[in-house]
Chain A
Amino acid sequence: EAGVTQFPSHSVIEKGQTVTLRCDPISGHDNLYWYRRVMGKEIKFLLHFVKESKQDESGMPNNRFLAERTGGTYSTLKVQPAELEDSGVYFCASSQEIQPYNSPLHFGNGTRLTVT
């Protein structure tokens, strides 16, 4: 079974530019999450998709961030325009069910975003 795949693994962009991160969840996983870890701090929740619908986007920092999940398969997270404080590692995770005890989250290896 293929794991959660994220692309790119690294991205370095200048302030004001646009970046799009992609996540391919495990096949059959309806639940897709985006998280972010800023240098040395906790991993913070950004949002949760159930299939193609946004179930919870309470963690999205501001309207410069736009997440989509086309057809309930892969997801993209666009940052436009990027700011210095957006630097960090962006993780995608997926699960088959919502209840984590029965269906743990599987994380991708993350995209390390550096905004200069």
Chain B
Amino acid sequence: QQQVKQSPQSLIVQKGGISIINCAYENTAFDYFPWYQQFPGKGPALLIAIRPDVSEKKEGRFTISFNKSAKQFSLHIMDSQPGDSATYFCAASKTFSGGYNKLIFGAGTRLAVHP
């Protein structure tokens, strides 16, 4: 059972355009929603994260939009640059009793920004 569904699988955007990646989750107990960026040969690196008590978080050109009622969240990359070309993963986690948690990842979106 895939608890976090990510789309699209791949995305091509022109330089300066807006990249939008969407994720949907099923478990309403999730309380942390990060986005990770991965370059070839490297591990995923945290890009930006949000908690469900806010609807939007912006850091530079990167924005997370969060819709709790629809159980969806999305990553928007404004003014996309060729250097943004990477694989992006959404994820979600919930805090279990005992104080531990684990990230549930989406399948990833391969973004290519063309000059």
Contacts and interface: CB of A to CB of B under 8 A. Distances in A.
Interface of A: 4, 33, 35, 40-45, 48, 50, 55-56, 59, 91, 93, 98-101, 104-105, 107-110
17 contacts: A4-B43, A35-B105, A41-B107, A42-B2, A42-B4, A42-B6, A42-B105, A43-B44, A43-B89, A45-B103, A48-B102, A56-B102, A101-B32, A101-B51, A104-B34, A105-B46, A109-B43
Interface of B: 2, 4, 6, 32, 34, 36, 41-46, 49, 51, 89, 91, 93, 95-96, 98-108
A99 B95 contact: yes
Contacts of B96: 56
Contacts of B36: 107
Given A105-B46, A109-B43, A100 B108 contact: no
Contacts of B106: 42
Given A41-B107, A100-B32, A109 B102 contact: no
Nearest to B43: A107
Nearest to A44: B105
B100 A109 contact: no
Nearest to A101: B32
**Dominant secondary structure at the B interface:** loop
Contacts of A99: 95, 99, 101
B103 A100 contact: yes
B100 A48 contact: yes
A69 B89 CA distance: 27
B105 A107 contact: no
Given A42-B107, A45-B103, A48-B102, A100 B93 contact: yes
A45 B104 contact: yes
Contacts of B2: 42
Given A43-B89, A101-B32, 18 more contacts: A33-B102, A40-B107, A40-B108, A42-B104, A42-B105, A45-B102, A45-B103, A45-B104, A48-B102, A55-B98, A91-B44, A93-B43, A100-B49, A100-B93, A100-B101, A101-B49, A101-B51, A104-B46
Nearest to A93: B43
Contacts of B100: 48, 50, 55-56, 98
